[in-house]
Amino acid sequence: MTIKTASNETQKVTITLPKLVLQQLDELIPARQRSRFIAEALADQLLALEESAGAWSDEGHPEMMDDEAIDRWLASLRASWTAPGVPDHGDLSA
């Protein structure tokens, strides 16, 4: 997504970044392109949030309602992890 704005449509802000993120930004993005890069990355993330809003509902995922339900779901999922043709020998961790 490319954002094109007139200079009078922009506003300066102060943000705080982790040192490693800033170091990567400095190494990869030329100084005079950083604002545009950050604006485009932020716009992409905001769009993803907008598009995914409402995609998850508690009612649509009863297997995640409480700790016990999650444990049952994980046990069921893990029980399906045997390769075809390989006998299941049960819990080998003991």
The answer to whether residue 32 is domain-embedded is yes
The distance in angstroms from the start CA to the end CA of the chain is 53
More confident position, 73 or 90: 73
pLDDT of 83: 67
Structural domain for 23, as ranges: 13-52
What's the pTM value of the predicted model, to 2 decimals? Answer: 0.54
Domain count, the chain: 1
pLDDT of 20: 97
Dmax (CA) of the chain: 69
The answer to whether residue 25 is domain-embedded is yes
Report pLDDT digits (tens) over 7-21.
568 899 999 999 999
The answer to whether residue 80 is domain-embedded is no
Residue with tokens 């016990």: 68
d(CA 60, CA 30): 45
Report pLDDT digits (tens) over 38-62.
999 999 999 999 998 888 788 888 8
Element (H, E) at 33: none
pLDDT at 94 over 60: no
The answer to whether residue 40 is domain-embedded is yes
